Amino acid sequence: MKVELRETNDGSHTLFIPELNENYHSHHGAIQEARHVFINHGLNPLLNKNYPINILEVGWGTGLNCLLSCLFSENNSIRYIGIEAFPIEQSLHEALNYVMHLENSSEIYERLIMASWDKETKITNDFTLKKIHTKIQEWETEDKFDLIYYDAFGPRAQEEMWRKETLERVFCMLKKDGFFVTYCAKGQLKRDLKELGCFVETLPGPPGKREMTRAVKN
Ligand SMILES: C[S@@+](CC[C@H](N)C(=O)[O-])C[C@H]1O[C@@H](n2cnc3c(N)ncnc32)[C@H](O)[C@@H]1O
Protein backbone atom coordinates (compact mmCIF):
# COMPACT_ATOMS: atom_id res chain seq x y z
CA MET A 1 0.00 0.00 0.00
CA LYS A 2 1.24 3.49 -0.82
CA VAL A 3 2.04 5.66 2.23
CA GLU A 4 2.68 9.42 2.26
CA LEU A 5 4.30 11.59 4.92
CA ARG A 6 2.13 14.53 6.04
CA GLU A 7 2.56 17.34 8.56
CA THR A 8 -0.21 17.86 11.14
CA ASN A 9 -1.23 21.15 12.77
CA ASP A 10 1.13 20.81 15.75
CA GLY A 11 4.05 20.41 13.32
CA SER A 12 4.49 16.68 13.96
CA HIS A 13 4.23 14.19 11.13
CA THR A 14 1.65 11.56 10.38
CA LEU A 15 1.33 9.02 7.58
CA PHE A 16 -1.49 9.08 5.06
CA ILE A 17 -2.78 6.07 3.13
CA PRO A 18 -4.45 7.28 -0.10
CA GLU A 19 -6.10 3.91 -0.75
CA LEU A 20 -7.99 4.14 2.56
CA ASN A 21 -8.12 7.95 2.59
CA GLU A 22 -6.96 7.63 6.19
CA ASN A 23 -4.28 9.22 8.40
CA TYR A 24 -2.39 7.39 11.14
CA HIS A 25 -3.17 10.30 13.50
CA SER A 26 -5.42 13.33 13.80
CA HIS A 27 -4.56 16.07 11.30
CA HIS A 28 -5.04 18.53 14.21
CA GLY A 29 -1.80 17.23 15.73
CA ALA A 30 -0.28 13.76 15.91
CA ILE A 31 1.78 14.24 19.09
CA GLN A 32 -0.96 16.34 20.67
CA GLU A 33 -3.55 13.60 20.09
CA ALA A 34 -1.30 10.74 21.21
CA ARG A 35 -0.37 12.55 24.45
CA HIS A 36 -3.95 13.42 25.26
CA VAL A 37 -5.61 10.07 24.53
CA PHE A 38 -2.99 7.49 25.42
CA ILE A 39 -0.70 9.20 27.94
CA ASN A 40 -2.93 11.65 29.84
CA HIS A 41 -6.01 9.40 29.96
CA GLY A 42 -4.31 6.01 29.79
CA LEU A 43 -0.84 5.79 31.26
CA ASN A 44 -0.78 8.72 33.73
CA PRO A 45 -3.49 7.43 36.10
CA LEU A 46 -1.63 4.11 36.38
CA LEU A 47 1.79 5.54 37.23
CA ASN A 48 3.49 5.18 40.63
CA LYS A 49 1.25 2.42 41.92
CA ASN A 50 4.22 0.23 42.71
CA TYR A 51 3.75 -2.52 40.21
CA PRO A 52 5.10 -3.11 36.72
CA ILE A 53 2.67 -1.89 34.07
CA ASN A 54 1.85 -4.23 31.18
CA ILE A 55 0.79 -2.28 28.09
CA LEU A 56 -0.63 -3.70 24.87
CA GLU A 57 -0.87 -1.50 21.80
CA VAL A 58 -3.05 -2.59 18.91
CA GLY A 59 -1.57 -0.91 15.81
CA TRP A 60 2.06 -0.06 16.74
CA GLY A 61 2.48 1.86 13.46
CA THR A 62 5.09 4.62 13.67
CA GLY A 63 5.90 3.82 17.32
CA LEU A 64 4.77 7.29 18.47
CA ASN A 65 2.59 6.02 21.36
CA CYS A 66 5.39 3.72 22.43
CA LEU A 67 7.95 6.54 22.36
CA LEU A 68 5.71 8.82 24.45
CA SER A 69 5.04 6.00 26.93
CA CYS A 70 8.76 5.44 27.37
CA LEU A 71 9.47 9.18 27.74
CA PHE A 72 6.65 9.81 30.22
CA SER A 73 6.86 6.63 32.28
CA GLU A 74 8.67 8.40 35.17
CA ASN A 75 10.88 5.39 35.91
CA ASN A 76 7.93 3.06 36.36
CA SER A 77 8.67 -0.43 35.18
CA ILE A 78 6.85 -1.00 31.87
CA ARG A 79 6.51 -4.06 29.67
CA TYR A 80 5.15 -2.97 26.29
CA ILE A 81 3.79 -5.21 23.57
CA GLY A 82 3.01 -3.64 20.19
CA ILE A 83 0.97 -5.59 17.67
CA GLU A 84 1.39 -4.48 14.06
CA ALA A 85 0.00 -6.23 10.97
CA PHE A 86 1.75 -4.04 8.37
CA PRO A 87 5.08 -2.61 9.61
CA ILE A 88 6.28 0.49 7.80
CA GLU A 89 9.62 0.77 5.99
CA GLN A 90 12.67 1.80 8.01
CA SER A 91 13.17 4.82 5.72
CA LEU A 92 9.72 6.14 6.70
CA HIS A 93 10.51 5.81 10.40
CA GLU A 94 13.67 7.80 9.75
CA ALA A 95 11.76 10.52 7.88
CA LEU A 96 9.29 11.12 10.75
CA ASN A 97 10.07 14.24 12.82
CA TYR A 98 8.96 13.10 16.32
CA VAL A 99 12.43 13.38 17.81
CA MET A 100 12.58 17.06 16.78
CA HIS A 101 9.48 17.75 18.87
CA LEU A 102 10.31 15.63 21.92
CA GLU A 103 13.32 16.39 24.10
CA ASN A 104 15.90 13.65 24.63
CA SER A 105 13.98 11.22 22.45
CA SER A 106 16.25 10.44 19.51
CA GLU A 107 18.26 7.63 21.09
CA ILE A 108 15.13 5.99 22.47
CA TYR A 109 13.25 6.24 19.14
CA GLU A 110 16.22 4.72 17.37
CA ARG A 111 16.16 1.75 19.79
CA LEU A 112 12.41 1.31 19.35
CA ILE A 113 12.51 1.23 15.58
CA MET A 114 15.63 -0.95 15.47
CA ALA A 115 14.24 -3.50 17.99
CA SER A 116 13.80 -6.91 16.38
CA TRP A 117 10.31 -8.15 15.71
CA ASP A 118 8.92 -10.91 17.90
CA LYS A 119 11.66 -10.61 20.52
CA GLU A 120 11.59 -8.77 23.85
CA THR A 121 14.14 -5.90 23.83
CA LYS A 122 15.32 -3.79 26.73
CA ILE A 123 14.98 -0.13 25.68
CA THR A 124 15.90 1.48 29.03
CA ASN A 125 16.44 0.07 32.53
CA ASP A 126 12.69 0.32 33.13
CA PHE A 127 11.15 -0.24 29.71
CA THR A 128 11.02 -3.38 27.57
CA LEU A 129 9.38 -3.67 24.17
CA LYS A 130 8.20 -6.63 22.16
CA LYS A 131 6.89 -5.73 18.70
CA ILE A 132 4.83 -8.52 17.22
CA HIS A 133 4.27 -8.73 13.50
CA THR A 134 0.77 -10.17 13.20
CA LYS A 135 -2.91 -9.28 13.04
CA ILE A 136 -4.58 -8.83 16.41
CA GLN A 137 -7.31 -11.23 15.24
CA GLU A 138 -4.68 -13.98 14.94
CA TRP A 139 -2.60 -13.32 18.05
CA GLU A 140 -2.90 -15.73 20.98
CA THR A 141 -1.57 -14.92 24.45
CA GLU A 142 -1.94 -15.94 28.07
CA ASP A 143 -0.76 -12.46 29.17
CA LYS A 144 -3.11 -9.96 30.78
CA PHE A 145 -2.63 -6.20 30.46
CA ASP A 146 -3.15 -3.22 32.76
CA LEU A 147 -3.59 -0.88 29.80
CA ILE A 148 -4.62 -1.36 26.18
CA TYR A 149 -4.06 1.35 23.58
CA TYR A 150 -6.57 0.64 20.83
CA ASP A 151 -5.17 2.64 17.91
CA ALA A 152 -6.64 0.94 14.84
CA PHE A 153 -7.67 2.85 11.73
CA GLY A 154 -11.17 4.29 12.11
CA PRO A 155 -14.37 2.28 11.58
CA ARG A 156 -14.93 3.80 8.11
CA ALA A 157 -11.55 2.57 6.86
CA GLN A 158 -11.28 -0.68 8.81
CA GLU A 159 -14.67 -1.79 10.05
CA GLU A 160 -13.43 -5.26 11.08
CA MET A 161 -11.23 -3.78 13.83
CA TRP A 162 -14.35 -2.38 15.56
CA ARG A 163 -16.55 -5.48 15.34
CA LYS A 164 -17.77 -6.75 18.68
CA GLU A 165 -15.97 -10.09 18.24
CA THR A 166 -12.62 -8.31 17.69
CA LEU A 167 -13.19 -6.07 20.71
CA GLU A 168 -14.19 -9.07 22.82
CA ARG A 169 -10.97 -10.88 21.89
CA VAL A 170 -8.95 -7.84 22.98
CA PHE A 171 -11.00 -7.41 26.16
CA CYS A 172 -10.15 -10.92 27.29
CA MET A 173 -6.52 -9.69 27.45
CA LEU A 174 -7.33 -6.86 29.89
CA LYS A 175 -6.85 -7.32 33.66
CA LYS A 176 -9.68 -6.56 36.07
CA ASP A 177 -9.73 -2.75 36.61
CA GLY A 178 -7.49 -2.39 33.52
CA PHE A 179 -7.99 0.52 31.09
CA PHE A 180 -8.83 0.35 27.39
CA VAL A 181 -8.31 3.73 25.70
CA THR A 182 -9.05 4.85 22.18
CA TYR A 183 -9.53 8.07 20.24
CA CYS A 184 -12.81 6.70 18.83
CA ALA A 185 -16.05 7.80 20.50
CA LYS A 186 -18.68 6.20 18.25
CA GLY A 187 -21.96 5.26 19.95
CA GLN A 188 -21.79 1.68 18.63
CA LEU A 189 -18.33 1.18 20.15
CA LYS A 190 -19.54 2.39 23.54
CA ARG A 191 -22.65 0.18 23.42
CA ASP A 192 -20.52 -2.85 22.53
CA LEU A 193 -18.06 -2.13 25.33
CA LYS A 194 -20.91 -1.85 27.85
CA GLU A 195 -22.31 -5.18 26.64
CA LEU A 196 -18.86 -6.71 27.18
CA GLY A 197 -19.19 -5.74 30.84
CA CYS A 198 -17.15 -2.54 31.02
CA PHE A 199 -17.64 0.75 32.75
CA VAL A 200 -17.43 3.17 29.82
CA GLU A 201 -16.36 6.80 30.15
CA THR A 202 -16.73 9.44 27.46
CA LEU A 203 -13.90 11.91 28.03
CA PRO A 204 -13.11 15.21 26.29
CA GLY A 205 -11.14 14.57 23.11
CA PRO A 206 -7.88 16.21 22.05
CA PRO A 207 -8.08 19.63 20.35
CA GLY A 208 -10.24 19.32 17.22
CA LYS A 209 -12.11 16.23 18.47
CA ARG A 210 -15.05 16.42 20.83
CA GLU A 211 -14.73 13.11 22.65
CA MET A 212 -12.68 9.97 23.23
CA THR A 213 -13.42 6.71 25.07
CA ARG A 214 -11.95 4.98 28.08
CA ALA A 215 -13.38 1.68 29.30
CA VAL A 216 -12.55 0.01 32.60
CA LYS A 217 -12.95 -3.72 32.99
CA ASN A 218 -15.28 -4.60 35.87
C1 LIG B 1 -4.12 4.48 13.21
S2 LIG B 1 -2.69 3.59 12.71
C3 LIG B 1 -1.73 3.44 14.16
C4 LIG B 1 -0.98 4.56 14.62
C5 LIG B 1 0.10 4.14 15.57
N6 LIG B 1 -0.36 3.80 16.87
C7 LIG B 1 1.09 5.27 15.57
O8 LIG B 1 1.19 5.99 16.56
O9 LIG B 1 1.73 5.42 14.56
C10 LIG B 1 -3.34 1.92 12.68
C11 LIG B 1 -2.28 0.85 12.68
O12 LIG B 1 -2.92 -0.43 12.79
C13 LIG B 1 -2.25 -1.35 11.94
N14 LIG B 1 -3.17 -2.46 11.68
C15 LIG B 1 -4.09 -2.57 10.69
N16 LIG B 1 -4.76 -3.73 10.80
C17 LIG B 1 -4.27 -4.36 11.89
C18 LIG B 1 -4.57 -5.61 12.52
N19 LIG B 1 -5.52 -6.42 12.04
N20 LIG B 1 -3.85 -5.96 13.61
C21 LIG B 1 -2.87 -5.13 14.09
N22 LIG B 1 -2.55 -3.94 13.53
C23 LIG B 1 -3.24 -3.57 12.45
C24 LIG B 1 -1.94 -0.49 10.73
O25 LIG B 1 -0.94 -1.06 9.92
C26 LIG B 1 -1.48 0.80 11.39
O27 LIG B 1 -0.12 0.80 11.68
What confidence tens digit (pLDDT) does each residue in 127-166 have?
999 999 999 999 999 999 999 999 999 999 999 999 999 9
**Ligand 1 shell residues, CB under 6 Å:** 24, 34, 58-59, 61-62, 64-65, 83-86, 135-137, 151-153
Q: From the CA of 175, how far away is ligand 1's center (Å)?
A: 22
Per-residue pLDDT band at 218 (split at 50, 70, 90): confident
How far apart CA 82 and CA 10 sit, in angstroms, is 25
| Ligand 1 atom closest to Cα of residue 30 | 8
Whole-number percent of the chain with pLDDT over 90: 96
Burial class (CB in 10 A: 0-12, 13-18, 19+), 174: buried
What confidence tens digit (pLDDT) does each residue in 103-138 have?
Answer: 999 999 999 999 999 999 999 999 999 999 999 999
- Choosing from 31, 38, 66, 151 the residue with most ligand 1 atoms within 8 A of its CB, the one to mutate for a pocket test is 151
Burial class (CB in 10 A: 0-12, 13-18, 19+), 109: buried
Please give the pLDDT value at position 120. 98
Output phi, psi for 113, to 5 deg. Answer: -75, -25
Protein residue with its CA nearest to atom 5 in ligand 1: 61
pLDDT at residue 54 is higher than 90 = yes
Whether the Cβ atoms of residue 70 and residue 128 lie closer than 8 Å to each other: no
- Choosing from 2, 4, 13, 24 the residue with most ligand 1 atoms within 8 A of its CB, the one to mutate for a pocket test is 24
How far apart CA 114 and CA 106 sit, in angstroms, is 12
Please give the pLDDT value at position 50. 79
Positive or negative, the Cα torsion across 120, 122, 128, 134? negative
- Over residues 52-73, mean pLDDT: 98
pLDDT at residue 195 is higher than 90 = yes
Count the Cβ atoms, other than its own, within 10 Å of residue 193.
23
Count the Cβ atoms, other than its own, within 10 Å of residue 93.
17
What confidence tens digit (pLDDT) does each residue in 69-115 have?
Answer: 999 998 899 999 999 999 999 999 999 999 999 999 999 999 999 99
How far apart CA 189 and CA 162 sit, in angstroms, is 7
pLDDT at residue 206 is higher than 90 = yes
Protein residue with its CA nearest to atom 24 in ligand 1: 59
Per-residue pLDDT band at 59 (split at 50, 70, 90): very high
Q: What is the mean pLDDT of the chain?
A: 97
Please give the pLDDT value at position 63. 98
Q: Pairing mode, if any, of strands 127-133 and 121-124? A: antiparallel
Q: From the CA of 72, how far away is ligand 1's center (Å)?
A: 22
Please give the pLDDT value at position 74. 87
Cα 174 off chain centre by: 15
Give CATH for domain 30-217.
3.40.50.150
Per-residue pLDDT band at 171 (split at 50, 70, 90): very high
pLDDT at residue 42 is higher than 90 = yes
Q: From the CA of 57, how far away is ligand 1's center (Å)?
A: 9
Per-residue pLDDT band at 202 (split at 50, 70, 90): very high
pLDDT at residue 169 is higher than 90 = yes
